[in-house]
């Protein structure tokens, strides 16, 4: 029987997004124009975006919440979108995770409380038993129990991913920007248990100590390609996708690759960038699930990220596949095979 469905596991966060009138210097004052509450974290954003696509792909949530109002809020939002919540565990030891997101003029910063996410371990994840096609885990480097050392696999997260692959899932992973040392310690052991890796250019550079961004904030395309190939050399099994403000690169282990520039957006059209990378990832996972060719996969991912920019919350801009295709049909993006 063909496997169908996507599991979103890892960080479940309540984002409190505060839109301010300007970006203040240290010690200065700015005005809060709007306060919005929404879900946050990789699996939350990815699943909520996938739900908004109306693709009829079965969706499953897995994570750890506190026994509190924030946890209740996230469960309500999960169920509202017809996402299976049976693998959402709860603990009375610590509150649900939350983040204060400060957003202004396309910039953002995060004040994060790790909360219950820090307790999510491989023991909970290995209770996930559904006939889904993809098991997505986000974010490595922000899940304390999963980032902890394991004598056999390197980390407990790597152990969980190895087991999920053994059960027949395609494993997909995203991680947060951290120091190169933490990348090497936590990310490298997991790579051979990852089928699909979706990250940004800074995370790719940190993993292998490559300078993808050059002085003046330009980027080096050749170094970007080199980083994708290095991920395969270090164990990634099927697909590497690296997104950055100027565009995105997708490469298969076979060597097939494609580059697509970002959709042109004017600064005044950007309400917020919170969750844009996760919206892009949702498009990638949809494309993998539906066996789309690389150029089509990147188009859906780019459209998903573009609509995300129209809202301050992480998934407030999510739309249906029909709306994405209407946008894509309105203009040709000049991509290229690499």
* DSSP per-residue codes, 220-260: -HHHHHHHHHHHHHTT--SEEEEEETTEEEEEETTS-EEEE
pLDDT of residue 270: 84
Is the whole model's pTM more than 0.95, yes or no?
Answer: no
- Domains detected in the chain: 6-13+40-99+114-337 (3.40.1190.20)
pLDDT score of 267: 80
pLDDT band, very low/low/confident/very high, at 206 (cuts 50, 70, 90): confident
Stronger pLDDT, 101 or 231, i.e. the higher one: 231
Pairing of strands 13-20, 32-40: antiparallel
Looking at residue 106, what is its pLDDT? Answer: 67
- Give yes or no for residue 307 having a pLDDT over 80: yes
Rounded Cα distance between 256 and 250, Å, is 8
As a whole number of angstroms, the distance between CA 329 and CA 284 comes to 19
What is the average pLDDT across 182-208? 91
pLDDT confidence of residue 96? 98
In the prediction, which pLDDT does 308 show?
94
Average pLDDT over residues 84-100: 97
Instruction: Out of 49-58, 236-245, 258-267, pick the least confident.
Output: 258-267
Percentage of the residues of the chain whose pLDDT score is greater than 90? 81
Residue 292 binned pLDDT confidence (cut-offs 50, 70, 90): very high
Q: Are 134 and 169 in contact (CB under 8 A)?
A: yes
Peptide bond into 139 cis (omega under 30): yes
DSSP states of 13-73 as a string? EEEEEEEESS-PPTT----EEEEEEEEESHHHHHHHHHHHHT----EEEEEEEESSHHHHH
Indicate whether 13 pLDDT > 90. Answer: yes
| Structural tokens at position 269 | 């059209």
């Amino acid at each position: 029987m063909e496997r169908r469905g996507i599991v979103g596991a890892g960080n479940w966060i309540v984002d409190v997004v505060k839109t301010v009138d300007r970006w203040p210097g240290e010690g200065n004052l700015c005005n809060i124009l709007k306060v919005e509450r929404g879900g946050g974290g990789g699996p939350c954003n990815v699943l909520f975006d996938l739900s908004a696509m109306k693709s009829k792909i079965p969706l499953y949530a897995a994570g750890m919440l506190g026994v509190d109002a924030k946890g209740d809020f996230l469960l309500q939002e999960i169920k509202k979108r017809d996402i299976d919540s049976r693998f959402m565990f709860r603990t009375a030891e610590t509150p649900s995770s939350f983040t204060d997101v400060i957003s202004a003029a396309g910039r953002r910063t995060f004040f994060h409380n790790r909360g219950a996410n820090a307790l999510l371990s491989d023991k909970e994840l290995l209770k996930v038993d559904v006939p889904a096609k993809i098991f997505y885990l986000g974010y490595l480097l922000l899940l304390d129990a999963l980032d902890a050392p394991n004598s056999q696999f390197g980390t407990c997260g790597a152990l969980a991913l190895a087991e999920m692959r053994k059960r027949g899932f395609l494993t997909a992973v995203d991680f947060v920007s951290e120091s190169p040392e933490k990348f090497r310690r936590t990310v490298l052991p997991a790579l051979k248990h990852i089928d699909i890796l979706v990250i940004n250019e800074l995370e790719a550079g940190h993993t292998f100590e490559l300078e993808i961004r050059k002085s003046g904030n330009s980027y080096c395309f050749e170094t970007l390609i080199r980083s994708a190939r290095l991920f395969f050399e270090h164990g990634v099994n099927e697909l590497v996708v690296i997104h950055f403000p100027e565009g995105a690169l997708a490469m298969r282990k076979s060597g097939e690759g494609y580059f697509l520039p970002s959709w042109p957006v004017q600064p005044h059209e950007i309400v917020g960038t919170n969750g844009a990378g996760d919206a892009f990832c949702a498009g990638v996972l949809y494309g993998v699930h539906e066996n789309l060719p690389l150029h089509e996969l990147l188009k859906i991912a780019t459209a998903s990220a573009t609509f995300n920019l129209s809202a301050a919350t992480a998934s407030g801009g999510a739309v249906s596949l029909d709306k994405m295709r209407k946008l894509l049909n309105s203009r040709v993006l000049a991509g290229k095979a690499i």
